[in-house]
Amino acid sequence: MTGERLSIVIQDACPSESRPPADRLRAWVGSALNGDVRGELTLRIVAEAESAELNSRYRGAQGPTNVLAFPAQSDLPSAGDELPPLGDLVVCAPVVAREAASQGKTTEAHWAHIVIHGALHLIGYDHDSDPQAERMEDRERALLDGFGVPDPWRERP
């Protein structure tokens, strides 16, 4: 792993026709991390049952959700050339597809938004307050624009 800055492991626990190719998923994550972050993360694509179980266990919320972000503990050691852990992203493919349809977005555009949103959470972005939400949404808009994806926050007819 010498010289490698970012490793993204994709676990596909819910094969889906709507899932974008691995290279696109990696590009979205990489853009959110902006080349400034060195480490390894796992992007796990799951079905609704696994998403709902994780959402209940770790957030106390019922039902599946589009993305969960689990940042790694910052004090976890890495050995030698091993990349430090960044954390895990869990994306629920059926929820992303359903939301895209209900919001009038392409499935790929919504995948890009959700993956970038989750990756930003891993590096400290949040939306618990209005200023934090505005900062995160501005960053998402800029990143998505770089991929030709329309603003996910604009009003739709």
Q: How confident is the model at residue 154 (pLDDT cuts 50, 70, 90)?
A: confident
Average pLDDT, whole number, for the chain?
A: 90
Question: By residue range, what is the domain housing residue 35?
Answer: 6-146
Query: Does residue 53 form part of some domain?
Result: yes
Cβ contacts of 76 within 8 Å, gap of 6 or more: 84, 85
pTM: 0.91
Average confidence (pLDDT) over 56-81: 86
Provide the sign of the torsion angle of the four alpha carbons 22, 24, 30, 32, taken in this order.
Answer: negative
Nearest residue to 13 via CA among 39, 37, 59, 48: 48
Per-residue pLDDT tens digits for 112-138: 999 999 999 999 999 988 999 999 999
Q: Which pLDDT score, from 0 to 100, does residue 38 have?
A: 83
Tens of pLDDT, residue by residue over 91-119, are 999 999 999 999 999 999 999 999 999 99
Q: What is the DSSP string of 7-74?
A: EEEEEESS--TTPPPHHHHHHHHHHHHTTT--EEEEEEEE-HHHHHHHHHHHH---S--SEEEEEPPT
Name which residue leads in pLDDT, 15 or 54.
Answer: 54
* CB count in 10 Å sphere of residue 56: 13
**pLDDT at residue 78 in the model:** 62
Number of domains in the chain: 1
Within a domain: residue 55? yes
CATH of the domain at 20: 3.40.390.30
Q: Is residue 48 part of a domain?
A: yes
